[in-house]
Amino acid sequence: MNEIKTTDAEIEIAGTGTLGKAMAVLEAVVTAGSPQRFTDIVQSIGQPRGTVHRLLSHLVEEGLLVQGRDLSYEPGLRLLKLAYRSWSGNRFRDIAEPHLLRLHELTGETVHLGVLRETEIIYVDKVESRQTVRMSSQIGKASPAYCTGIGKAALSSLPQPELERIAARMRFHPFTAHTHRSAAALLAEIDEIRREGHAFDREEHEAEICCVAAPIAIPEHDLVAGVSVTGPAYRVNMAQLAAWAEVVRGAAGKIEEEVRMRLGPGRNGR
Amino acid sequence: MNEIKTTDAEIEIAGTGTLGKAMAVLEAVVTAGSPQRFTDIVQSIGQPRGTVHRLLSHLVEEGLLVQGRDLSYEPGLRLLKLAYRSWSGNRFRDIAEPHLLRLHELTGETVHLGVLRETEIIYVDKVESRQTVRMSSQIGKASPAYCTGIGKAALSSLPQPELERIAARMRFHPFTAHTHRSAAALLAEIDEIRREGHAFDREEHEAEICCVAAPIAIPEHDLVAGVSVTGPAYRVNMAQLAAWAEVVRGAAGKIEEEVRMRLGPGRNGR
DNA sequence: AAACATAGTTCCATATAATGGAACTTCCAT
DNA sequence: ATGGAAGTTCCATTATATGGAACTATGTTT
């Protein structure tokens, strides 16, 4: 029992016992994006019905899921509450915020702060270009590292073996005509990014969206992140982005420095 | 073992077995708001060290917590990621959004959407008055129901027995001079709110902050929520709030109607 | 430096809680 | 009515969580 299923559609279950299974169920429901019925969940998890049923009851009792009158399961509010408290108490985000605001004032475009987690970038803060498009945050959104400016910048600050280990786990989905299609192509660009100190996203993730990003690396806190300035291609051409590269690098450097100062050295002063 | 500890400082552990304990540990770390050391956590949980230690390892392995070099524990990014997907896939929020924007245009002040969960209101969406003060969301923030406009509005739409059950569980913390100090006082105001159809927050939660709110109740989906328009007391006096009451009630009504239409009837057409 | 104190980690026999196959109930369609 | 699909409950079996205690690492005092 408890084998790791490797079928594509199924979610992997880690070696964290009961908690791992419960999280796999939670993830399955949350990822689906629409209310999931019992049978759907059983299928995506590949665990016996009795087990899945009990896990679901526990998740509902904990407020992590809610069950509607049609018996389908949806994410519960407790997740939002937990995330809010994590976010608002996050010292890295807190330290970076004024620098993001300054970067926004300088450029007038949207500024993002993202942290690398395995092969993904998770956005932890954002300053909107205007309130126009959509009102609210993409905070918590996860995007692949290989096709985003922050992602590539963050990757460029990793030691080569670590970078290669992570690159090997990526699945290169071709979002646009410009998306990297292989680890080799990505690694080649990373070399260049290391020399330049900044990365571009040339409509690699979304058509018509470009950005310039710089890495923030604080190895003594296991933190690999990045800042970026993003804009629509029609308004922000490559020359403009290149011109902003320096202030973006500057902001990244200042954030790095301030985090070092305020968070202190890690264990053993390493 | 597994007794429910009732000491004030300790976190209660539900009857959800291993998951319940793991969530109690997670909650303890997240709630603390600062990195928690092993011993801190053991104390706030009141479970044996061996057990807590293993739970922590599993939570770290799952990405729900991260452990710094000084061995302290902090919330991990996986929480943000899960919450983002829950939030962006939330149909109630999605349906309500245009109505919130319209309300913001009409009033020019900050508009909130919140859902009642036991004795608390959890904010699920927000339209900022300006981008001035702080850039980002209080989405996911939990506030007590008895001292917020949305909270009182939402409570007013509950059947009396349910209301009384919930009111009995509240602890009336006196945030300001105007905060209700007892269930009796709250229940009396709820009576009035039921007659009027809207609720005010007269600086009851935060000094200098007022609001007017209206309830959104969709019993067939177990949804009790509210919308509000909030402003600083110096700019928004009671007369102004009273004048907005009607549009707020209107927005709440339209949201209610549209949710009923698009989410369909619950089970048994109840 | 030695002795002490404190914090974190590992171990393992035991008890408890998770497991999962199967029986059962409910709901819906024909 | 009848058949079938979806959801729920049951319970003997087994795996997993438990937690007291021993252990290791770190840091403080004399």
DSSP letter for each residue of B67-96: E-TTS-EEE-HHHHHHHHHHHHT-HHHHHH
pLDDT the model gives residue A265: 62
Task: Find and give the residue nearest to C17, measured CA to C1'.
Answer: B17
Kindly give, in sequence order, each residue whose CB lies less than 8 Å from that of residue B61, ignoring residues fewer than 6 positions away. Answer: A14, A15, A16, A20
B150: pLDDT strictly greater than 80: yes
pLDDT the model gives residue B266: 52
Q: Residue B138: which pLDDT band, with cuts at 50, 70 and 90?
A: confident
Read off the pLDDT of each residue in A196-216 and give the average, rounded to a whole number: 96
Read off the pLDDT of each residue in B151-171 and give the average, rounded to a whole number: 97
pLDDT the model gives residue A3: 35
Contact in structure between A127 and A111 (CB atoms under 8 Å): yes
pLDDT the model gives residue B12: 56
Q: Is A110 exposed, middle or buried (0-12, 13-18, 19+ CB in 10 A)?
A: buried
Interface of A with B in 53-72 (CB under 8 A): 55, 58-59, 61-64, 66, 68-71
Return the closest-CA partner of residue B52 out of B79, B24, B94, B71: B24
pLDDT the model gives residue B72: 92
Kindly give, in sequence order, each residue whose CB lies less than 8 Å from that of residue A105, ignoring residues fewer than 6 positions away. Answer: none
Query: Which of A245-249, A260-264, B10-14 is most confident?
Result: A245-249
Phi-psi group of A22: left, alpha or beta (phi > 0 → left; psi -120 to 50 → alpha; rest → beta) = alpha
pLDDT the model gives residue A242: 95
State both tokens at A176. 């646009």
The Cα–Cα gap between A100 and A251 comes to 8
Main-chain phi, psi angles of A172, to 5 degrees: -85, 85
pLDDT the model gives residue A13: 58
Q: Residue B137: which pLDDT band, with cuts at 50, 70 and 90?
A: low
Q: Residue B265: which pLDDT band, with cuts at 50, 70 and 90?
A: low
Q: Is A171 exposed, middle or buried (0-12, 13-18, 19+ CB in 10 A)?
A: exposed
A8: pLDDT strictly greater than 80: no
Kindly give, in sequence order, each residue whose CB lies less than 8 Å from that of residue A168, ignoring residues fewer than 6 positions away. Answer: A183
- Owner of token pair 């102004």: B240
Is residue A117 within 8 angstroms of chain B, CB to CB?
yes
| Better-predicted residue by pLDDT, B33 or B258 | B258
State both tokens at A201. 């996203």
- Owner of token pair 């939990």: B142
The Cα–Cα gap between B23 and B30 comes to 10
Q: How far are the Cα atoms of A65, B124, B148 from residue B94, in angstroms, in the given order?
A: 18, 10, 23
Contact in structure between B137 and A138 (CB atoms under 8 Å): no
Read off the pLDDT of each residue in A179-191 and give the average, rounded to a whole number: 96
Q: Closest to A62 (Cβ–Cβ): which among B19, B31, B115?
A: B19
What's the one-letter identity of residue B101? Answer: L
Residue numbers in A near B220 (CB within 8 A): 69
B13: pLDDT strictly greater than 70: no
Contact in structure between A244 and A212 (CB atoms under 8 Å): yes
Give tens-digit pLDDT for B162-219. 999 999 999 999 999 999 999 999 999 999 999 999 999 999 999 999 999 999 999 8
Helix, strand or coil for residue A102? helix
Return the closest-CA partner of residue A55 out of A38, A70, A35: A38
State both tokens at B110. 């900050």
Q: Closest to B84 (Cβ–Cβ): which among A66, A139, A268?
A: A139
Query: CB of A266 under 7 A from strand D?
Result: no
pLDDT the model gives residue A144: 97
The Cα–Cα gap between B41 and B38 comes to 5
Sheet holding B223-232, edge to edge: B142-144, B120-127, B110-117, B223-232, B209-218, B199-202
pLDDT the model gives residue B153: 98
Please report residues contacting nucleic strand C, using a CB cutoff of 7 A. Answer: A 1-2, 18, 21, 47-51, 54-55; B 1-2, 17-19, 37-39, 49-50, 53-54, 71-72, 267
CB contact under 8 A, B18 and A16: no
The Cα–Cα gap between A13 and B242 comes to 54
Q: Closest to B80 (Cβ–Cβ): which among A30, A122, A267?
A: A122
Contact in structure between B217 and B256 (CB atoms under 8 Å): yes
A65: pLDDT strictly greater than 80: yes
The Cα–Cα gap between A92 and A115 comes to 10
pLDDT the model gives residue B7: 33
Read off the pLDDT of each residue in B228-235 and give the average, rounded to a whole number: 93
pLDDT the model gives residue B173: 96
Please tell me the least confidently modeled range out of A175-184, B8-17, B39-48: B8-17
Read off the pLDDT of each residue in B130-151 and give the average, rounded to a whole number: 77
| C-beta neighbour count of B157 within 10 angstroms | 24
The minimum CA-CA distance between B151 and chain A, rounded to whole Å, is 15
Distance of CA B199 to the CA centre of its chain: 17
| Better-predicted residue by pLDDT, A121 or B34 | A121
Residue numbers in B near A124 (CB within 8 A): 77, 80
pLDDT the model gives residue B14: 59
Return the closest-CA partner of residue A142 out of A114, A169, A122, A170: A122
pLDDT the model gives residue A1: 36
pLDDT the model gives residue B69: 83
pLDDT the model gives residue A16: 81
Q: Is B85 exposed, middle or buried (0-12, 13-18, 19+ CB in 10 A)?
A: buried
Kindly give, in sequence order, each residue whose CB lies less than 8 Å from that of residue B209, ignoring residues fewer than 6 positions away. Answer: B201, B203, B230, B231, B232, B233
What dihedral do alpha carbons A179, A180, A181, A187 form, nearest 10°? Answer: -170
pLDDT the model gives residue B204: 96
CB contact under 8 A, A69 and B14: no
Please tell me the least confidently modeled range out of A170-174, B6-10, B157-161: B6-10
Domains belonging to chain A, first-starting first, are 17-81 (1.10.10.10), 89-269 (3.30.450.40)
Helix, strand or coil for residue A42? helix
What's the one-letter identity of residue B132? Answer: T
List the beta bridge partners of residue A223: A218
The Cα–Cα gap between A268 and A265 comes to 8
A174: pLDDT strictly greater than 80: yes
A191: pLDDT strictly greater than 70: yes
Please tell me the least confidently modeled range out of A257-261, B132-136, B147-151, B177-181: B132-136
Average pLDDT over chain B, rounded to whole? 88
Please tell me the least confidently modeled range out of A40-49, A222-231, B250-259: A40-49
Read off the pLDDT of each residue in B74-87 and give the average, rounded to a whole number: 92
Contact in structure between B12 and B5 (CB atoms under 8 Å): yes
Is residue A83 within 8 angstroms of chain B, CB to CB?
yes
